[in-house]
Amino acid sequence: MHSEAIAVHEHHHETDSVDVFGFWLYIMTDCILFGCLFATFLVLNFPGSPGPELKTYLKLSDVLLETFFLLASNFTFCLAILNLYQTKLFRVQLWLAISFLLGGSFIFMEVTEFAHLANEGFRWDVSGKASSFFTLVGTHGLHVSCGLVWILLMIMQLPLLKDVYVARRRMTYLGLFWNFLDIVWIFVFTIVYLMGAM
Amino acid sequence: MSASKNRHALRDRTGDPWNGRTLEWSVSSPAPLYNFAELPTVSTRDQFWAYKEAHLAEGHVHPKELHYQPIHMPKNTPAGFIIAMFAGIFGFAIVWHMWIPGVVGFIGMVATMIARTFSTDTDYYVSEETVRKTELAHIKEMISNA
C-alpha cells in the first residue's frame, strides 16, 4: 500500500513536468506571435514613414505608471506563489486579488489611453504606423485581459481543488503566463514607447 | 463483390498483414486504446524489422514473462466537440455580421472552456492486468497467423 502511494505520487511529478513542458510550448508559440507583431511594427515605423507621429499624442508618464502597475502585479503574484507553497490558502487568494486589481488598473489605463489617442486623431485606420501600434499593444492587452479572467477563476477554484498538486500545477501555468506578459511588456515599453518618443 | 462478401474471413487479425518494417505494424489492428504497451526504444530506422529478426526467430513467447506498467490515460470529454460547435457558429456569424448568434457562439465557447477547468477528474490508469490481457490476445493472433 505504502509503495503504491509513493508510485502514484512520483507519477504525478513525472506527468507534471510533461504538462509544464506543454505549457512552455504554448508560450513559445506566443513568442512567435509577438515577434511577428514587433517586426511589423518596426518595419512600418521606419524613419520618415507617412502618418501622424505617436510621440505628439503620448503622455509618457501615464505609460510609466501603467508599467509599474503591471510589474507590481507580477510581484504580488509571486507572493501568492510563495504562500501557496506554505499552503496558506487565504493569503494566496488575497495576493491573487491584489494582482487582479493591479492588472485591472493596467488594462483600465491602457483602454483610456487608446480612447485618448483615437479621439486626438491617432486612429488605427489613419496609417500603417497607427494600425501596427494598436495591433501590437492591443494583442498584449487582450492577453492581459484573458490573464485577469484566469486569475479570477483561480481565486474561485483554489478552495475547490482537493489535490494540492493540481493547484500548484495550475498556479505554475498562470505564473508562466503572467511573467511572460510582463517580459513582453518590457519590450513594448522599450521599443514602442521609449524608442517611439525619442 | 468478393472483397465485401468475404470480409469477415479475410479480415486481418495480426495488425501486420504485409510483414511490415516499422513500428506502426507492431500493434494490433485496430490499435489498442493506449497504442503502445511500453514506449518503444528506437535504435534503427526499421525498428520493428530489427525486433522481428532478434526475437521472432526464437519462435515463441512465454506469457509469464510479460510484465507491463499501468498506463496513464486521459478520460473522454465532450468539451472539445462542444467548443468546436460554438466556434463554428461564432465564425459563421461574424463573417455575415450576424451579431446575436456571434455573441451566443463566443459566450458558448468561453463558457465551455471555463466549465471544463472546474473538472479535475480528467485522467485514469489502464490496469496492468488489462494491458496484459490485450497484449496477450494480440500475441496469440500473431502466432496463430504466422
Q: What is the ipTM of this complex?
A: 0.77
Q: Residue A103 domain-assigned?
A: yes
Q: Domain tally for chain A? A: 1
Report the range of poorest mean pLDDT among B47-61, B85-99, B128-142.
B47-61
User: Quick check: B15 and B138 in contact, CB under 8 A?
Assistant: yes
Nearest to B72 among A15, A157, A160 (CB): A15
User: Quick check: A45 and A105 in contact, CB under 8 A?
Assistant: no
Cβ-based contacts of B117 with chain A (< 8 Å):
153, 157
Backbone angles phi, psi at B60, to 5 degrees: -150, 155
Q: Residue A52 domain-assigned?
A: no
The residue among A166 and A93 whose pLDDT is bigger is A93
The residue among A95 and A50 whose pLDDT is bigger is A95
Q: Residue A37 domain-assigned?
A: yes
Nearest to B114 among A11, A153, A162 (CB): A153
Residues paired with B124 in a beta bridge: B73
CATH of the domain at A73: 1.20.120.80
> A114 lies in which domain range?
2-45+59-197
pTM of the model: 0.82
Confidence at residue B38, expressed as pLDDT on a 0 to 100 scale: 86
Q: A162 vs B120: CB contact, 8 Å cut-off?
A: yes
Nearest-neighbour CA in chain B from A16: distance (Å): 12
Check CB contact of B72 with chain A, cutoff 8 Å: yes
> What does B83-138 look like in DSSP terms, one character per residue?
HHHHHHHHHHHHHTT-HHHHHHHHHHHHHHHHHHHT----EEEE-HHHHHHHHHHH
Percent of chain A with pLDDT over 70: 92
**Domain locations along chain B:** 2-75+121-144, 79-117
The residue among A11 and B68 whose pLDDT is bigger is B68
Q: How far is the CA of B80 from the CAs of A153, A162, A178, B27, in angstroms?
A: 20, 25, 25, 27
A149 to chain B: closest CA residue:
B114
Q: Residue A128 domain-assigned?
A: yes
B114 to chain A: closest CA residue:
A153
Distance (Å, rounded) from C-alpha A143 to C-alpha A179? 12
Confidence at residue A25, expressed as pLDDT on a 0 to 100 scale: 96
